[in-house]
């Protein structure tokens, strides 16, 4: 017991002197170094104690917490020219990040001291990683109005037992650049106030239990990332998404948005990543406005019953590297231009639709592809994928009962064709594929 405490002490002492959290600045040789105000020092102890009471924080870190801070507590010393007697905590990082980045660890019975939101007027970054994973913890019922007046990043990641409505948390964050709340127990609606925080560059609220809808505003002139994926959002996605003209990434996947995919999405001329998959968008076909989004690199619409045919829009979208159009009720032929235009394609999923006709021979040109999934359609004719084309690629074709695979490595037998259903699944290796084919042919004879 004593040894383990000593070890802990040594560890913490070592960590507390290790970079990058060393802060040493000789301000002025005559004046005493500026100090963390006692109330802020006390608040740090209280917060650390609330997340892990097993560590004797006051004993291990008895001195000014800015002069010799535990990892995860960062202070800003003012410029040497500024005459001041106090320093302040500007960053708090709580919980596990990795074996290489040490933060104050949280215990399974971690709680959240409300002083966290009341006492740090100079806080610019608050990071809480894998801290609330055991006993259920709620956000405080209210958060003082002054919280976050200089906050730039608010990041809660993988705290599944931390619940509550985030409305109380979202204050007058005029400086907030990143709002990242991933994998927590947050619920309730997405506060409309978020869309008034004009400095925001990223809003990522994925894997919580948010409900209802949202409306975007044109006030967010700096927003590059909007990610509401894996929540319980419903209703129409707002046309006002089109006002977020600087967006590079839009991810609304795994919610229950319904109705039409808002045409406003087509106004996002800088968008590179669009994921609307696994919602309930329906019955309007693949949106043609995709053709007017020149920077698009990845587009995922799988799991929405959009129906219709795959439109001929690919000549305008040569930069695309990922297309996910699975389970969309798509009909008709696969356009040849998908094969001839998409030189940078690495991922294409058209599986589980009602596509018919031949696979365009141009698909044999998709050299950069690493995965092509055409399973469970009604494709016919010969698949234009040679053995050499398949090297290093996953090509999935099973579940197309009338599709023919012609193997160039097997000497052609008179009238011999091989049903694609033998080549199902994940055949990464051509050797394996060849063995399966040879066995199949032997059995057939
Ligand atoms: C929390 O758990 C630690 C052991 O991990 C224990 O020492 C401490 O007393 C517990 N605190 C509370 C408030 O239950
Ligand atoms: C929000 O903060 C700004 C500057 O930090 C201040 O000017 C403004 O009055 C505050 N607004 C509210 C509603 O508190
Ligand atoms: C979004 O705006 C529309 C139209 O103004 C309104 O009907 C709807 O209730 C708003 N939704 C939310 C979540 O604020
Ligand atoms: C699949 O295509 C064939 C013709 O190639 C057609 O006879 C058959 O009805 C189609 N099956 C389905 C389920 O659409």
Identify the residue whose C-alpha is closest to ligand 4 atom 11: 378
pTM equals 0.83
The SS3 call for residue 18 is coil
Ligand 1 atom at shortest distance from the alpha carbon of 109: 1
Task: Report the separation in Å between the CA atom of 434 and the middle of ligand 4, taken as the mean of its atom positions.
Answer: 28
**Is the residue at 238 inside a domain?**
no
Size of the chain in residues: 445
Q: Of 215, 218, 234, 240, which is best to mutate to test ligand 3, by the most ligand atoms within 8 angstroms of its C-beta? A: 215
* 365 φ, ψ (degrees, to nearest 5): -95, -5
* CB of 146 sitting under 6 A from ligand 2: no
Residue 235 lies in a domain: no
Q: Is the CB of 211 under 6 A from ligand 4?
A: no
Q: Which two tokens stand for residue 360?
A: 């365009």
Q: Is 381 exposed, middle or buried (0-12, 13-18, 19+ CB in 10 A)?
A: middle
Does 420 fall in a domain? yes
Residue nearest atom 13 of ligand 2, based on CA coordinates:
172
Residue 251 carries which DSSP code? E
Question: Is residue 272 domain-resident?
Answer: no
Q: Is residue 146 part of a domain?
A: no
pLDDT at position 241 is 96
Q: Ligand 3 centre from 215 Cα, in Å? A: 6
Task: State the distance from the centre of ligand 3 to the C-alpha of 214, rounded, in angstroms.
Answer: 7
Residue 213 backbone zone (phi > 0: left; psi -120 to 50: alpha; other: beta): beta
User: 382 - beta bridge partners?
Assistant: 404
Task: Name the burial class of residue 344, with classes exposed (0-12), middle (13-18) and buried (19+) by CB atoms within 10 angstroms of its CB.
Answer: middle
Residue 420, CA distances (Å) to 143, 355, 378, 383 in order: 61, 16, 11, 9
Q: What is the CATH number of the domain that holds 389?
A: 3.80.10.10
- Please tell me if the CB atom of residue 53 comes closer than 6 angstroms to any atom of ligand 1: yes
Decide if 356 is inside a domain.
yes
Question: Which ligand is nearest the CA of 151, by number?
Answer: 2
Range of the domain at 422: 313-433
How many Å apart are CA 192 and CA 429, to the nearest integer? 51
Q: Do residues 139 and 162 lie in contact, with contact meaning Cβ atoms separated by under 8 Å?
A: yes
List of the chain residues with pLDDT < 50: 1-28, 410-436, 438, 445
Residue 170 lies in a domain: no
* Residue among 355, 356, 399 to mutate when testing ligand 4 (max atoms within 8 A of CB): 356
Residue with token string 């800003």: 76
**Rounded distance from Cα 149 to ligand 2 centre (Å):** 8
- The pLDDT value recorded for residue 375 is 97
Ligand nearest the Cα atom of residue 49: 1
pLDDT at 103: 78
Count up the domains in the chain and report the number.
1
- Residue nearest ligand 2's atom 11 by CA: 172
Question: Considering the domain boundaries, does residue 337 fall inside one?
Answer: yes
């Amino acid at each position: 017991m004593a040894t383990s405490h000593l070890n802990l002490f040594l560890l913490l002492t070592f960590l507390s002197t290790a970079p990058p959290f060393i802060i040493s600045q000789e301000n002025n040789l005559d004046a005493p170094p500026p100090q963390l105000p006692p109330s802020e020092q006390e608040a740090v102890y209280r917060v650390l104690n609330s997340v892990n009471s097993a560590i004797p924080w006051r004993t291990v870190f008895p001195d000014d917490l800015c002069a010799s801070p535990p990892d995860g507590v960062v202070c800003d010393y003012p410029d040497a020219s500024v005459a001041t007697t106090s320093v302040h905590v500007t960053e708090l990082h709580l919980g596990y990040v990795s074996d290489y980045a040490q933060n104050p660890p949280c215990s399974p019975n971690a709680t959240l001291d409300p002083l966290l939101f009341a006492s740090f007027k100079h806080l610019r970054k608050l990071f809480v990683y894998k801290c609330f994973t055991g006993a259920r913890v709620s956000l405080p019922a209210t958060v003082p109005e002054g919280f976050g007046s200089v906050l730039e990043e608010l990041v809660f990641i993988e705290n599944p037992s931390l619940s509550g409505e985030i409305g109380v948390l979202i204050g007058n964050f005029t400086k907030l650049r990143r709002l990242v709340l991933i994998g927590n127990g947050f619920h309730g609606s997405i506060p409309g106030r978020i869309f008034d925080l004009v400095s925001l560059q990223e809003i990522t609220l994925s894997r919580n239990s948010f409900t209802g809808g949202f409306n975007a505003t044109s006030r967010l002139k700096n927003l590059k990332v909007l990610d509401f994926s894996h929540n319980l959002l419903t209703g129409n996605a707002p046309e006002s998404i089109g006002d977020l003209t600087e967006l590079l990434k839009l991810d609304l996947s795994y919610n229950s948005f319904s109705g039409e995919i808002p045409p406003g999405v087509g106004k996002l001329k800088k968008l590179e990543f669009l994921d609307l998959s696994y919602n309930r968008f329906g019955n309007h076909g693949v949106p043609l406005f995709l053709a007017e989004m020149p920077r698009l690199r990845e587009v995922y619409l799988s799991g929405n019953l959009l129906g219709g045919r795959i439109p001929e829009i690919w000549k305008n979208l040569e930069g695309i590297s990922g297309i996910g159009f699975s389970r969309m009720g798509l009909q008709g032929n696969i356009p040849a231009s998908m094969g001839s235009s998409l030189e940078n394609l690495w991922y294409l999923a058209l599986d589980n639709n009602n596509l018919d006709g031949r696979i365009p021979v141009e698909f044999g040109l998709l050299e950069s592809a690493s995965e092509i999934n055409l399973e469970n359609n009604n494709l016919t004719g010969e698949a234009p994928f040679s053995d050499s084309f398949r090297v290093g690629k996953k090509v999935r074709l099973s579940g197309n009962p009338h599709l023919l695979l012609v193997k160039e490595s097997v000497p052609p037998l008179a009238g011999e064709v091989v049903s694609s259903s033998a080549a199902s699944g994940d055949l990464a290796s051509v050797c394996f594929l060849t063995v399966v084919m040879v066995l199949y042919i032997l059995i057939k004879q």
